[in-house]
Amino acid sequence: MGKMRIKTLGLDDQEKTQQKDDNVVKQSSIDESKSTKIKQSKKIRLKLVGEQQKKAKNEVDKVLKNKSNGLDIKAAIKLLKKISYANFDETVEVHLNVKKQGLKGEVVLPYGTGKKKNIVVVDDKFISDLQEEKINLDSIDVLLSTSAYMPKLSKFAKVLGPKKLFPNPKQGTLTDNMDEAVSRFNSGLVHWKTEAKFPLIHQSIGKKSFSDEQIEENFKALINSVGKSNITKCFLKLSMTPAVPIDLSNL
């Protein structure tokens, strides 16, 4: 009887092992099926996006056929919203060709950019956390400091500099009037400048959900700041749309 019981137990173990193997095979098959479906879904989405992009470009080309100088800003905004196919609140972008490199400045956009800025004011805790590498610098949009903290902050210049976070009086991030600085940056203050090696400026001026009038006012504020006389070409686009050339002659 004892031997029979031992033998039976051995068979049960084999059956359990076989069941585990079968489950592994089934799970592998399920995972492979899911992976195949995900790949097929991505292909379908990419194909759909490609078709939507082509349709949007054709629409822009059709409208621009008899507009060699581009569209006025009002018409451009309406066109971009019409051809937008993205299912998220796209960013409104301005791209400028200017006469020379090295142009830079700042402007308060009347309606902001639509992005909530993470503004951080340097204090003792910030210095301590920075020393211990507890801060995610990529999450900071603006770093403000008073002159009193600059001696302590200067040792981190090589870390903050490349991320464009080192406080600077020219940008208004080094100031002893902190309340005013925070208010300015929260009100829609943006800094624009040309690329390092090319006379090009890229600046976001709002979101697709902004009204046409809000986008237009922000656009005008940026163009006035850069100066029409400095601009050779101007384009407006949303995150996922083709760029539309803008005629600035009547602005």
Q: Where are the domains of the chain?
A: 1-66, 69-113+188-251, 116-187
Give pLDDT, residue 141.
92
Q: How far, in Å, are 16, 139, 147, 164, 228 from residue 168 at the CA level?
A: 69, 19, 10, 10, 27
Question: What is residue 60's three-state secondary structure?
Answer: helix
Superfamily classification of domain 116-187: Ribosomal protein L1/L10, domain II (3.40.50.790)
Roughly what angle, to the nearest 10 degrees, separates helices 73-83 and 2-64? 150
- Average pLDDT over the chain, rounded to whole? 87
100-128 mean pLDDT: 93
User: What is the pTM (predicted TM-score) of this model?
Assistant: 0.71
Checking if the pLDDT of 177 tops 80, the result is yes
CB-based contacts of 225, cutoff 8 Å, min separation 6: 105, 106, 107, 192
pLDDT tens by residue, 139-163: 999 999 999 999 999 999 999 999 9
Residue 216 backbone dihedrals phi, psi, to 5 degrees: -65, -45
Residue 226 backbone dihedrals phi, psi, to 5 degrees: -70, -40
220-243 mean pLDDT: 96
Checking if the pLDDT of 246 tops 80, the result is yes
Cα torsion 33, 36, 37, 38 to 10°: value is 120
Query: Lowest-confidence range among 41-45, 63-67, 186-190?
Result: 41-45
69-113+188-251 maps to which CATH number?
3.30.190.20
Fold: same for 69-113+188-251 and 116-187: no
Give pLDDT, residue 6.
45
Give pLDDT, residue 33.
64
Answer with the residue of higher pLDDT: 50 or 33.
50
pLDDT tens by residue, 63-109: 998 888 899 999 999 999 999 989 999 999 999 999 999 999 999 99
